[in-house]
Amino acid sequence: MKKHILSLFLVMFAMVGFASTSHASDTIYLESGNTHSNTLTSSDESQWYQINTTQDSDVHIYLANTTAPINSSLYDSNKNFIGIIAWNVSSTFQTLKAGTYYIEVKPDHWDDRYSSGSYEIKATYGSGNVTHDSTTFEPNDTREYAFPIQSGKKISSLLSNVYDLDFYKFSTTVDSGDVHIYLANTSAPIKFDLYDSNKQLIASNNSSLSQPLKAGTYYIKVYDFYWDNKYSSGTYDLIATYSTNSKEHNPSTFEPNDTLENAFPIKSNAPIKSQLSNSGDIDFYSITLNKEGNVNVSLSDTSAPTRFKIYDANKKLLDYSSSSQSYSKYLAAGTYYIEVYADYWGNQYSSGTYTLTAGYPNATTKSNEILLYLNSKTAYINGKSKTLAVAPFTKKETTLVPLRFVSEELGAKVDWNSKTNDITVQLNGSKIVLNTNSYLVTVNGSYKTLQVKPEVINGTTFVPLRFVSEALGKTVLWNAKNKSILIK
Ligand SMILES: [Ca+2]
Ligand SMILES: [Ca+2]
């Protein structure tokens, strides 16, 4: 017991000495990105922290979870005052020279109201190489620690408190391209800024924006937007789509397609089924007319208000879709772009599916007319006869036709995977996958059901005739009199 009283005396004595004289020996080294918890136990106590930046960089400092008024200041290596670290907000000191800095934390006029106060302190600053956490992408509170993101790839993260900032960066090598950035699934009001490499603000938004960009490196800062005391943290998804040299698209979503430069090329009269995954998502498609002619674009099967715009090759807006969701115009040869977008969803819709069809002059589409006869091995291609290995037949009142023969005569590419028995048919930008063991067919990633399974007879795969019209988008005419099938 005696011993305890004695050590308490020593601590008190040490604290008085600390406040009135030097503090160097008690200075705590604060590692970049780490949170340190501490408590001030008297109104004249000061606690000192040291940071060593190894490169010129921004320094982001905040005090969180304070239980009493506490103020803090930043000093250089000679203890010259640099600035206040504001209470209840975070402070970013821009481009500090590499070196040693000190942070002083002390009570702010406690009088008799407070006898102690705890807090958490965090400083993020340049300290050489950094490894980002794979789920939070921290530390990322400064530009120098921005997490590099890839075009079209979704980032799901959180602002862990009101002082947290999340920086991301990306580089584009393409001049006069666009970037499309959006936030989705936010659990609190969250905003983002887009900066260039000179720290100049380009644009700000709390949902989505499209912006023309020159080649270069850009930064996105994600931060709280008037949380007051209503929110203590906030999750969000962030997607930035910008120009890259890669034109690869996900075969089922056609993403990334949020910018005109990343437009997915669609073939004439091959319906595209896709979705806007939230109100900030936009989908660009391109069509190329090899000669002048009529262009008919239509949007159907929309599950939420969805519209489209048409642009020419110079990004000039030609038209909006009318309320009839269709567009028809005689256009010159060249490339055009269709942008599908959410039309004022508010909070009513969170995603929406649609079917987009564009018909336009395009010589690459084969226009063969195929004439088949039920139970006959003789077929006619544009009037010229050909012999089939196995004749078309009916089963369960369904007419079945040879898949490879019909598909290839229509200009499609047919591949068979001997391991999985998957048959892939590619026509006019559409990808159809079927399997001889399944009623299910995937057309550009969405499922359709066949009335009967594909059937293999003497090595020839047969599919229901309706498959040809629905999946390959062809017109099928049935003549009951002579039992003929005309596909065109
Ligand atoms: Ca952060
Ligand atoms: Ca998109």
Domain residue extents for the chain: 22-124, 143-242, 260-359, 370-487
For residue 385, report the distance from its CA to the centre of ligand 2, in Å: 46
Query: What is the pTM (predicted TM-score) of this model?
Result: 0.65
Looking at all shown ligands, the one closest to residue 352's CA atom is: 2
Looking at all shown ligands, the one closest to residue 340's CA atom is: 2
Predicted local confidence at residue 21, as pLDDT:
41
Predicted local confidence at residue 192, as pLDDT:
98
Distance CA 73, CA 217 (A): 32
For residue 124, report the distance from its CA to the centre of ligand 1, in Å: 9
Fold of 143-242: Jelly Rolls (2.60.120)
Predicted local confidence at residue 259, as pLDDT:
93
Predicted local confidence at residue 363, as pLDDT:
54
The reply to whether CATH 2.60.120.10 applies to domain 260-359 is no
User: Largest Cα–Cα distance in the chain?
Assistant: 114
Q: Is 37 exposed, middle or buried (0-12, 13-18, 19+ CB in 10 A)?
A: exposed
Predicted local confidence at residue 207, as pLDDT:
92
Residue 279's nearest CA partner among 255, 258, 262 is 258
Residue-wise pLDDT for 229-267, tens only, equals 899 999 999 999 998 877 788 888 999 999 998 999 998
Looking at all shown ligands, the one closest to residue 147's CA atom is: 1
Looking at all shown ligands, the one closest to residue 221's CA atom is: 1
For residue 292, report the distance from its CA to the centre of ligand 2, in Å: 28
Same CATH fold, 143-242 and 22-124?
A: yes
For residue 302, report the distance from its CA to the centre of ligand 2, in Å: 15
For residue 152, report the distance from its CA to the centre of ligand 2, in Å: 8
For residue 160, report the distance from its CA to the centre of ligand 1, in Å: 8
CATH architecture of the domain with range 22-124: Sandwich (2.60)
Distance CA 92, CA 316 (A): 41
Token representation of residue 333: 């040869």
For residue 128, report the distance from its CA to the centre of ligand 1, in Å: 18
For residue 159, report the distance from its CA to the centre of ligand 1, in Å: 6
Predicted local confidence at residue 24, as pLDDT:
47
Looking at all shown ligands, the one closest to residue 236's CA atom is: 1
Low-confidence ranges of the chain (pLDDT < 50): 1-24
Distance CA 466, CA 427 (A): 16
Residue-wise pLDDT for 416-470, tens only, equals 888 888 999 887 667 789 998 888 888 877 788 888 888 999 989 999 887 776 7
Token representation of residue 469: 């019209």
Predicted local confidence at residue 90, as pLDDT:
78
Predicted local confidence at residue 468, as pLDDT:
74
Predicted local confidence at residue 367, as pLDDT:
66
Fold of 370-487: Copper Amine Oxidase; Chain A, domain 1 (3.30.457)
Distance CA 44, CA 139 (A): 33
